[in-house]
Structure 1
Amino acid sequence: MDLKYEPTQPGNPHKFTINQHVFPKASIKRFEGDDGCVEIYSIPHRKVMRLRPNNPIFCAQRVWDQKTEAAVSKRIEDKFQALADAIERGTVTTIGVWEKRIVEQFFSLWRTRQKFRLEGLEDVRLHGIAGESLTKAEEEAMESKHVMYASDGVVKGRLLASIHVFGYETTFIQANASMQWGIVRSASGEFLVPDSFEDMMIVPISPRIAIVADVPDCVLSRDEVATINQSAIIRAKNYYFARQLSSVPVIRRSTGTQFRGIFPEHRG
């Protein structure tokens, strides 16, 4: 789906984020090589490219509002990045109750933003309410203050994004209340990252570390890493990336018996 985004006033006076990362730039940076780039395979173009984490290919264009970008998402991302740092340093070695909530909020946000990027957010007409006509300057002034508004009785879809984020998050957390997450490390080979894992609850941290649902803290064999990577490729819509794709093992024909039986069907 080719979504058109609404341009800002000339010069973008309120400094709205136009290119909105689906998977955070800080997370992509954990995979970058010495050249400051990650290696990405573009599915539509059928080609491999080395791109910086700020490349627009990783982004939606103004699909959600500035409140969702700068307030709602930032709170979730900041907590997750602090946790990811601690896991990399080794100061957090297991996902407890506190960490579980952080991981699940982040995974839900990632998956929700991918849904927004692919499908957009429909405008909503308020029936029986005419509302005022607002100028673009007035609309942007309100959005910059994180205020929801209607113009001519219509609420723009992107202004409702934060409501959807909280709704999907609540449903996801309730549905997986009893689930545990494990910190998994690769003994050999590196993880790749799809634009979304969809139904598979996996959060890559770095080329050798990931958080995986329903799996104990463990070190994975090369075949087990390859099984995760194959799952990522199958679910990717537009791209997947890694530090270096040649360092990524992939099992082309998974029998389902890899993973020591600790990789059951994941719940959405």
Structure 2
Amino acid sequence: MAKFEKPQKGNPHRLVIGQHTFPSKSIARFAGADGRVHLHMKPGGPIRRAKSIDSIFCARRAWDHGTEVGFMKSIEDRFQLLADLIIDGRVLAFDAEQTHVISSFYALWMARAEIRDQPRNDTILRGVLPGRTGWSRDEEEGLEKAGLAFFRGITMPAHIVNGMRAGVLVGRYLRQVNPSGKLGYYSDLGRRVSRTLH
């Protein structure tokens, strides 16, 4: 498991720390009046009541802020709009675009779970010139808040690596579950960074 990298004291850039592998809005649809869901850890095992912020549903800064509020949020938002239409009875069958929305959400869910369970650690990038050294913590977090990656010499921090990896994984899973669908951003990102990460 990758080491959790705490933001600076007080988290002045308001970086997302508790990241959901499965969205809290989706969990809330199954919650009781107490805001909790029944959680079975294994068949026949004990049942416990869990909030949507329970650690079973979350990772701790496993990927970067820009990834969380950028393409991940875009996929989630489109899915939640469609889910609301389904629940309201306004969508009864799926066209190609709606199928893509659902497939993208499933691919995102799978990618997040994989990163949470099998994160990459800080990665030394071989064959590249060292980046600027000596970024202050505040500068690094400012770059992350702006959606930019950064190096520490020739090392990329784990949460930045895993953020880039998320786009690769979403593209990979999307090709598996909806091979006839459009890949757009995800396949392009995969082409750009897959050689770096493998």
So what's the TM-score if we normalise by structure 1? 0.61
- Which residue does 2:169 correspond to in 1? 168
- The change in CA–CA distance for 1:178 and 1:149 in structure 2 (over 3 A counts) is closer
Alignment gaps of 5+ in structure 2: 182-198
How far apart, CA to CA, are the structure 2 residues paired with 1:92 and 1:164?
33
SS in 2 for 1:38: strand
One-letter amino acid of the structure 2 residue matched with residue 101 of structure 1: H
AA aligned to 2:14 is K
> What letter is aligned with 2:166?
V
Structure 1: tracts of 5 or more residues without a match: 180-268
In terms of fraction of residues, the more helix-rich structure is 2
CA-based RMSD: 1.8
Matches within 5 A, 1:181-196: none
Q: CA deviation at 1:54?
A: 2.2
Find the counterpart in structure 1 of residue 39 from structure 2.
40
* Residue matched to 2:193: none
Answer yes or no: is 1:152 the counterpart of 2:156.
Answer: no
Supply the AA of the counterpart residue of 2:20.
Answer: H
The residue that corresponds to 1:119 in the other structure is 118
CA contact (8 A) 1:68 1:161 kept: no
2:130 paired with 1:130: yes
Could you tell me how far apart the structure 2 residues matched to 1:129 and 1:135 are? 20
- Contact kept? 2:62, 2:119, Cα under 8 Å: yes
Q: Percent identity?
A: 32
Q: Which amino acid aligns with 2:158?
A: G
Shift in Å, 1:142: 0.7
- Displacement of 1:22 in angstroms is 0.4
Aligned to 1:87: 86
The answer for the alignment partner of 1:71 in structure 2 is: 70
Compare the two structures and name the one with the higher strand fraction: 1
Q: Write out aligned runs for 1:208-219 (5 A).
A: none
Which range moves more in the overlay, 10-19 or 102-111?
10-19
Shift in Å, 1:50: 0.9
Contact between 2:111 and 2:173, CA under 8 Å: does it hold in 1?
A: no
> Following TM superposition, by how much is the alpha carbon of 1:13 offset from its aligned partner in structure 2, in angstroms?
0.7
1:119 deviates by 0.8
SS in 1 for 2:32: coil
1:80·1:102 contact (CA, 8 Å) conserved in 2? yes
- For residue 87 of structure 2, give the secondary structure of its aligned residue in structure 1: helix
SS for the counterpart of 2:166 is helix
The offset of 1:163, in angstroms, is: 3.1
2:107–2:171: 8 Å Cα contact kept in structure 1? no
Matched residues in 2 for 1:162 and 1:101: separation? 22
Structure 1 contact 39–48 (Cα < 8 Å) conserved:
yes
Give the equivalent residue in structure 2 for 1:177: 179
Contact 2:119 2:162 (C-alpha < 8 Å) held by counterparts: no
* CA-to-aligned-CA distance 1:48-71 (integer Å, 9 cap, x gap): 211221223310111000011111
Size of the aligned set, in residue pairs, is: 176
> In structure 2, how many angstroms separate the alpha carbons of the residues matched to 1:123 and 1:15?
22
Report deviation, 1:3. 4.1
